Amino acid sequence: MGEVLSQSEIDNLLAALSAGELDVDQMQEANERPVKDYDFKRPAKFSKEHLRTLEIIFDHYGRLISTNLPAYLRKSVQINVTNSETVTFSEFSNSLSNPVILGIVDFQPLNGNILIEIASNLGYAMIDRMLGGPGLPLDKVRDFSEIEMAILEKIMVVCMQLMREPWKNVIEINPVMDRIETNAQFAQVIAPSDMIAIITMEMKIGDVQGRMNICLPFFTLEDIMDKLNTKYWFASMQKDNAEKYEEHIETLIRRIDMPIRAVLGKNQVSVNDFINLQVGDIIRLNTDISSEMEIYVGNLKKFMALPGSVKDRYAVRVTSVLREGE
């Protein structure tokens, strides 16, 4: 009933309108809500939170490439995420110009494939480095030979396998390289109208610079969309780090040397007898030759044992383990 005006409020409102103190048009504009256009052909399936999480994942992926790829190319590699957006697959495929390097990856255990697209000038530079050259792109674009395709496949498989670690906080993946296409028309593995997330990365190999695009269909990521948020990602990362920390501490503890001593027996002597002890004197203990010995780990009595020898060395054989409080 809070929205119902009293008679006095109605009278005051009419009086203000009559006096020109209130503008009806302004009141209507103030009450209008802003309307946003919605394109039903491009439904928003990826939220900003989803894209932000994907950027974090592939930022980690970029660091792994920068660390591991130079071992194959013998050249410095720099790569970083520059953009993330959602488009239809037809918009992505129409933007590609042949020859293109498209790695089609079976993103197991998830459904469907993802695509890894590398600029052709980067591909030529990688091939040149792998064959002992300075790592320069071709002056004139041409198709890749069979030998060059085999080299590209090796590099793409290396890049693909590096995805395992960045994704493990979300899901354990086992990516498998299906094939590599150099013609975008033969890579129609996703429906043209399907929405995809594109993660764009800028890669620099020596002095050669180009783009690397990761195409992630909504259909493939649909089962884990609830995990693609920064809160879940950081929580998983902290849990993983905690488990690694515990394993590390446990490993260090197992390497620590612990002093162990076997106590044959005990006795009490006077200060005078202690001062006058000589070589050859005999001290009688409170145990006999058949009694078990106490074994101490540090200052904790932990075992009972019997004396013996092994290969000309004194030894003890553990007969029982003492629990705390025994």
Residue 134, classed as helix, strand or coil, is: coil
Q: Is residue 9 one of the residues assigned to a domain?
A: no
Q: Is residue 43 one of the residues assigned to a domain?
A: no
Q: Is residue 147 one of the residues assigned to a domain?
A: yes
Which of the residue ranges 34-48, 78-92, 112-126, 145-159 would you say has the lowest mean pLDDT?
Answer: 34-48
CA–CA separation, 198 and 89 (whole Å): 10
The pLDDT value recorded for residue 242 is 58
Q: Is residue 24 one of the residues assigned to a domain?
A: no
The pLDDT value recorded for residue 33 is 62
What are 204's strand-pairing partners? 78, 209
CB 183 within 8 A of CB 81: no
Same domain, yes or no: 269 and 233 = no
Which DSSP helix (H) or strand (E) runs through 84? strand 77-88
Task: Give the residue with greater pLDDT, 52 vs 243.
Answer: 52
Q: What is the mean pLDDT of the chain?
A: 82
Q: What is the CATH number of the domain that holds 214?
A: 3.40.1550.10
Contacts of 302 (CB under 8 A, 6+ apart): 295, 296, 321, 322
Cis previous bond, 109, omega within 30: yes
Task: Give the residue with greater pLDDT, 88 vs 39.
Answer: 88
> Tokens at residue 13, please?
């409102």
**Position 200 pLDDT exceeds 90:** yes
Structure confidence by residue, pLDDT tens digits, 67-95: 999 888 888 899 999 999 998 888 888 88
Structure confidence by residue, pLDDT tens digits, 144-172: 888 989 999 999 999 999 999 888 888 89
Q: Is residue 60 one of the residues assigned to a domain?
A: yes
**Position 214 pLDDT exceeds 90:** yes
* pTM (two decimals): 0.60
Same domain, yes or no: 287 and 197 = no
Number of Cβ atoms within 10 Å of the Cβ of 207: 12
Same domain, yes or no: 197 and 308 = no
The pLDDT value recorded for residue 44 is 64
CA–CA separation, 177 and 71 (whole Å): 21
Of 187, 218, 243, the residue at which a domain comes to its end is 243
CA 236 to chain CA centroid, Å, is 9
Task: Give the residue with greater pLDDT, 138 vs 32.
Answer: 138
Number of domains in the chain: 2
Same domain, yes or no: 291 and 222 = no
| Angle in degrees, 0-180, between the axes of helices 230-254 and 48-68, rounded to the nearest 10 | 40
Structure confidence by residue, pLDDT tens digits, 248-258: 667 767 777 77
Q: Is residue 153 one of the residues assigned to a domain?
A: yes
The pLDDT value recorded for residue 245 is 60
Task: Provide the percentage of residues in the chain whose pLDDT is more than 70.
Answer: 84
**Position 38 pLDDT exceeds 60:** no
Domain that holds residue 298: 260-321
**Position 1 pLDDT exceeds 50:** no
CB 127 within 8 A of CB 152: yes
